[in-house]
Amino acid sequence: MSDHDVDDIAFLTGSPNESGFMVNKRAMYEPGAVMVCSQKRACCVVTLGFIAIITIALIVAFTKPGCPEATYTGEPFPGQSNHPTVSPPSTPPTATNGEEFPWADVRLPFHVRPLHYDISLHPNLTTRHVQGEMTIKLTTIEETTAIIIHGHELNVSQYSLKNKYGKPIEIIKFLIYPRHQQLYLGLDEILRRGSNYTLKMSFETTLKEELDGFYLSSYINGDGEKRYIATTHFEPTSARSAFPCFDEPHLKAKFHLSIYRDSQHFTLFNMPQQTTVPVEGSDLFLDEFQESVEMSTYLVAFIVCDYDLVYNFTEHNVKVSVYAPPNMINQANYSLRIASHILDYYDKFFGVAYPLPKQDLIAIPDFGAGAMENWGLITYRETALMFDKNNTSSRSQQRVAVAIAHELAHQWFGNLVTMSWWSDLWLNEGFASFMENIGAAVAEPGWAMEEQFIVEKMHPALSLDALLASHPISTPVTDPAQIESIFDTISYKKGASIISMLESFIGRNMLQEGLRLYLDSHRYGNAATDDLWEALTTVTKKHGKELDIKGIMDTWTLQAGFPLISVSLQDGHVTASQARFLVCEENVTDPNEPLNTTLGYRWHVPLTYITSGNPHNQTMHWMNLTDVDFDVARDTKWIKVNVGQRGFYRVSYDMAGWEALNNVLQTNIDTLSPADRASLIDDVFTLVNPFCTTIQNWAGTVSATVALDLSLYLKKETKYIPWHTALGHLFKWVRLIFNYPAHTLMLDYIHTLVRPHYETIGWNDTGTHLERLLRSEVLWAAVQCGNSHAIQEAQQRFSSWRTNNDSIPPNLRSVVYSTGVRYGTEEDWRHCWQVYNSSSIPSEKGLMLKAMAQTRDPWLMQQYLEYTLDATKIRPQDVMTVLKQVSKNPGGRLSAWRMVRQHWSQISQLFGHGSFTMGAIIKAVTSPFTSSFDLGEVEAFFKDVDVGPGERALAQALETIRLHIQWHEHNLDSLTSWLHQHLSHSQTVKGSGDSA
Ligand code: BES
Ligand code: ZN
């Protein structure tokens, strides 16, 4: 993503060296005055509840001593066959009543599994109280005398068990183990294998304050009144905080829901409503829904709201509806149109018809993720669903299309066929991320979505995966914090990238046939990575292709990182060698240290290339865990490896190789496709980092001057993909040297590249989708380079918008608002604050959030940062955007870091202590740091802070700062002298630089 975007969807981030961690998952929501049930009171209720339960449990325990208990046999759980099971804790787990909790594993035992849940809920949106009753039909897989089920912050008041004839089975022990969020029901008789039972439970809980579980959200309606809605977000492990359940993805069951509501609201569930009846003696209604299909708990969703809707029907008569607050419903038509279009397409593409009678898409005002694929009831952030053609930019429109295509792809990949365990999360998220470009391309054929794949997925994934603190795609996880921490760039973007690479060597048709087989064989069930490889192997074999798909793909899913392919061409002879690429400190790899993989950090690499003699037809050689060499025509002048950057690897050439390619770019740009041009830029700018490989410690073999020489061709570049890539890298360098004299030189240099293009691209918001995306980035680049014309134009548009309410074309708004604030007054900033507060257009609010971070007034900046601590000012879902944008502003970087340090415990409380969102915050505020002093400060601060699941993010942040320091040591001098030389040269030759 360019410097210029508001990344309100966490995974759509993508500037170099930034991971797209999910953020704000545990953000707190502050209710208005009428709603407040004080924390103290809530605590009392919960504590009293616990005391009651403990008392009951103690009475039960002491009246029936010596009950048999379930024991863990040590057999693997589904999805864990390849991984060691967790070792039990050294001290026995202790239940809330002080007794030993008889089950030590964070995973549930497999003795019983659920078949059917019947849930009845009565949420009170004023008191936040939720009363629940449920009946679960179970079946016994192995004999057992206990049932262990998930439950988190639920006050269970009654429970009973019956066999299939209705005979009660006494529950002699009821224990709660909050650490593993488990409940234990000890029985006085053995449950027989293969028999069915009915478990009933009554419970109470509250509508949560976090953006997880069953929680409260609100919006301001057209009359300025606050309206409350209750909604859910369960993935990965929060269903258990809404009702007791077997909260693991392989424990699928059918769900039936009834929910009480008042007359101002209506309710939604995964399935259509069946009946609604008034409740006698009250002004409530009871809504009952059709029974669901077999599904995992994390996909269950229900909502109480007072929204409006628009709807239509797909070719297969599925009712598609988009729900939004009434004052936003006029922004719902675009989503509706493309959702039904994409649903129709996926029906055909996957060869399995969408199985539910309806598909709802709904905008939620407070939403931690970007969107969530609940089966039949997809929830979205407002910015990921609402579109207004007069107000919303192409970038935000694309975000809407992509979010819809992504979540709809999950209806098959994830919902119909679910990963057996979270270690294979990439099967869900990698595939949905791969499919989102295909789905969006179908809805918007003019957008070159498939061409955009490399900048949206490959580049960010390669960037993160070059850190030592990366991890393999398939990675063992057990507890909720670990599970949440893998919703990251590796699962999403590296996952999508390796599928794209697979597609590049088996073809779309074969991939599609394999996916159909996989979906068909595992429908309503679960699967692991190997099941996918098996389906693809069957299909490729059938077509006479002998490919060891599993063997090839294991090298990409089981090892962290990726190879650097070093290529040299001499007299028609090419050698290509592979070694893991790490941007890391010199001498960090110890050749004597055992490798962290049995595959030895070697890969099956589909090496593709084009040459000067054959620039339009690619050739492929497999590097099967090895290096290769081959011959091309003797007079070959250049070779470009990794055609279209379809392979998940980087390529380094020798000096002659870079020069020859540079020559092609300077003399005949169209010889190489935009994707190839972008891939050269991305590789060369990355290789300028001091890097090493598993073969040798090999620092900075490519000098900064090689990258800069190559960048000169940009004067002739007109396409979005290479420009987007280049601007990302060039401005990253600007940020790295912001307090060195070379800073101004670098901006001047970028200006020489951008200016010709700035002059032709102009200020009319016209052209193709990619041209509009490009215009927005080029205008902003010009402003950042101090182009006086651009600044004046933006300022003038800003002031006529402020004073006369003159409308600004959607794709110019970002640059106009940001420039207006950057060069504006306090009143300008306050005007944006007022628009942020009053606008009913989510995309506009997003632009304001970003623009306000551009201020150069330290006091306004400080105030803005402090607003993030007040949920009534900045919604917690947006805190991350503010911190990140302020950190990117040279004048704000230190304030953001200071703020986070100073209010660490408050922020950490806001997001839930130890939540890995804190890891994302650490990355955001430390990413601009470049000196040893900064590093020392960050290390010193975190020495005594427990970041819990944010540990990997902290490691990545520290590694990144070290890299920046080394980048300076290696490149600052050569960069500075290159810039001096080049700028004086171009000034004498052509006259350059705008003096603004
Ligand atoms: N399944 C995820 C939502 C999610 C994310 C649940 C993190 C739990 C933790 C959903 O399919 C998703 O990937 N959403 C993306 C947006 C999408 C358009 C890429 C997100 O939330 O960023
Ligand atoms: Zn997803």
How far is ligand 2, taken at its centre, from the CA of residue 378, in Å?
11
How far is ligand 2, taken at its centre, from the CA of residue 809, in Å?
31
Tell me which residue has its CA closest to atom 8 in ligand 1. 235
Question: Which atom of ligand 1 is least distant from the CA of 369?
Answer: 21
How far is ligand 2, taken at its centre, from the CA of residue 403, in Å?
9
> Residue 993 has what pLDDT?
40
Residue of 374, 400, 406 to mutate, ligand 1, most atoms within 8 A of C-beta: 406
| 3-class secondary structure per residue, 298-315 | HHCCEEEECCEEEEEECC
Question: Which atom of ligand 1 is least distant from the CA of 484?
Answer: 9
Question: Which atom of ligand 1 is least distant from the CA of 407?
Answer: 11
For residue 570, what are the β-bridge partners? 573
First-to-final CA distance of the chain: 27
Has 407 been annotated as catalytic? Answer: yes
C-alpha distances (whole Å) from 44 to each of 205, 208, 241 are 13, 16, 18
Tell me which residue has its CA closest to atom 21 in ligand 1. 370
Tell me which residue has its CA closest to atom 11 in ligand 1. 372
700 φψ region: left (φ > 0), alpha (ψ -120 to 50), beta (else): left
Tallying the residues shown for the chain, one arrives at 996
Tell me which residue has its CA closest to atom 6 in ligand 1. 235
36-45 contact pairs (CB < 8 A, 24+): 37/127, 37/128, 37/129, 37/206, 42/128, 42/206, 45/155, 45/206
Residue of 5, 11, 12 to mutate, ligand 1, most atoms within 8 A of C-beta: 11
- Distance (Å, rounded) from C-alpha 704 to C-alpha 708? 6
Residue carrying structure tokens 């009363």: 131
Q: What is the pLDDT of residues 718-760, one digit of tens each?
A: 999 999 999 999 999 999 999 899 999 999 999 999 999 999 9
Tell me which residue has its CA closest to atom 2 in ligand 1. 372
Residue of 26, 297, 342, 372 to mutate, ligand 1, most atoms within 8 A of C-beta: 372
Q: What is the pLDDT of residues 8-52, one digit of tens each?
A: 334 333 333 333 323 333 332 223 333 333 344 444 444 444 545
At position 697, the amino acid (one-letter code) is N
Residue of 357, 360, 435, 450 lying closest to 403 (CA atoms): 435
> Residue 309 has what pLDDT?
98
Question: What ligand is nearest to the CA atom of residue 10?
Answer: 1
The structure tokens listed for 114 are 């659920």
- Distance (Å, rounded) from C-alpha 471 to C-alpha 490? 8
> Residue 702 has what pLDDT?
85
Tell me which residue has its CA closest to atom 17 in ligand 1. 403
Residues of the chain with pLDDT below 70 are 1-90, 585-597, 692-701, 912-916, 985-996
Tell me which residue has its CA closest to atom 3 in ligand 1. 372
Pocket of ligand 1 (CB under 6 A): 9-11, 22, 25, 235-236, 369-373, 402-403, 406-407, 410, 429, 432, 487
Question: What ligand is nearest to the CA atom of residue 25?
Answer: 1
> Residue 58 has what pLDDT?
41
Overall pTM surpassing 0.85 (yes/no)? yes
Residue of 444, 694, 466 lying closest to 560 (CA atoms): 466
How far is ligand 1, taken at its centre, from the CA of residue 370, in Å?
6
How far is ligand 1, taken at its centre, from the CA of residue 487, in Å?
8
**Given 248, 407, 429, 793, which residue is catalytic?**
407
> Residue 583 has what pLDDT?
86
Question: What ligand is nearest to the CA atom of residue 22?
Answer: 1
How far is ligand 1, taken at its centre, from the CA of residue 637, in Å?
46
DSSP 444: -
> Residue 696 has what pLDDT?
54
How far is ligand 2, taken at its centre, from the CA of residue 419, in Å?
13
What's the half-sphere exposure (Cβ side, CA atoms, 13 Å) at 66? Answer: 0
